[in-house]
Amino acid sequence: MTGFIYHQAYLQHNPGWGHPESPDRLKAIKQAYDNLNRRDKTILHTPRPATEDEITAVHTGEYFREMGAVCLTGGYHRGMESELDSASWDAALFAAGGGIEASEKVLSGEWSNAFCALRPPGHHATPNLAMGFCLFNNIAAAAAQLLKKGAGKVLIVDWDVHHGNGTQEIFYSSDEVFYYSTHQRSLYPYGSGDENQTGAGKGEGFTLNRPIEPGAPADEYLRLFHQDLNTIEGRFQPEIALISCGFDVCKGDTLGRLNLSGVHLAEMTQAVSRLAGGKIVSFLEGGYNLNSIVDGFIGHFQALIDLS
Ligand SMILES: [Zn+2]
């Protein structure tokens, strides 16, 4: 079965009027899910919130308390570029919790694979900074729990059009988590995600960055993606793969200038699944054009169902 993580709390975080990271993105995905004629092959799951211990496995305790206070007071947060209030805090806890629950269910074999339709997104959040619409680093929190549950090696594939600077920073010195990112060159967060950022200490060689030129055709992108997965396969045999799934990599996005569509994401999903022995958990990150999001989601999610 393919899991689908969703919570009403995800819709309650409102980053501001006219903000690109709007709840409408998630409403569009949920509607596409509800309209799927193969929904009987999936399980809709309402998750629990993450605990403080689970969050502080990848963020500092000071950051956890600070952001809690900021959300309680309410107001605009400059780093996150979003309005925050107590509903944002709840959404962020349920988002991290959803990713952790899905990852545990896939690791144990209860589910074959899963998609987490959550917000706020996570991959820009560093141990002590909220950045780029991200409060908690959902995918990093899930990877940390997987390691605690006995997964020896976790692969993170980040195909959001932006570089996942937060995830890279959290696991930069780890040889248990391999971080691979494809992203558009010279896009936010500027200066992060160059090819020469490859890990440090025992994590040297366990970070792989692939900046792609703006406007690159889809077949060129796919050629590089498959080439990089082959490289990773020679160095790292993951028990499970987590995907930072940004639909802003799709053609028509308002922030990105790459040219993928649902059919390409389906091919990439199959390739990642092969590398990870079928165990995949996908996390919603960016994506700002509703039509591109729905097209990307359907291609990606149908591939997960086919693989389950
Ligand atoms: Zn993005």
**Residue found by looking up tokens 């409060």 in the block:** 135
Domain of 208, in residue numbers:
2-307
> pTM for this one?
0.98
User: Among this protein's residues, is 123 annotated catalytic?
Assistant: no
Paired tokens of 151: 């997964």
CATH number at residue 197: 3.40.800.20
Cα of 248 to ligand 1 centre, how many Å?
6
From 259, 242, 255, select the one nearest 133 (Cα to Cα): 255
Domain total for the chain? 1
Cα of 162 to ligand 1 centre, how many Å?
4
From 90, 89, 91, 113, select the one nearest 102 (Cα to Cα): 113
The amino acid sitting at 272 is V
Q: Which of 59, 124, 183, 300 is catalytic?
A: 124
Sign of the CA dihedral 53, 58, 63, 68? negative
Cα of 182 to ligand 1 centre, how many Å?
11
Phi, psi of 103 (to 5 degrees): -65, -40
Cα of 163 to ligand 1 centre, how many Å?
7
pLDDT reported for residue 143: 98
Cβ-proximal residues to 294 (8 Å cutoff; 6+ apart), any chain: 28, 29, 32
Cα of 120 to ligand 1 centre, how many Å?
12
Average pLDDT of each block of 10 consecutive residues along the chain (308 residues)?
98 97 98 96 98 98 98 96 98 98 98 98 98 98 98 98 98 98 97 97 98 98 98 97 98 97 98 98 98 98 98
Buried-exposed string 200-225: b where 16+ CB fall within 10 A, e elsewhere: eeebeebbbbbbbeeebebeebeeeb
Q: What is the dihedral of CA 35, 37, 43, 45, to 10 degrees?
A: 0
Query: For the residues of 83-116, what is the DSSP string, one character each?
Result: EE-HHHHHHHHHHHHHHHHHHHHHHHTSSSEEEE
Cα of 199 to ligand 1 centre, how many Å?
22
Cα of 287 to ligand 1 centre, how many Å?
6
Cα of 86 to ligand 1 centre, how many Å?
24
| CA–CA separation, 136 and 143 (whole Å) | 13
pLDDT reported for residue 165: 98
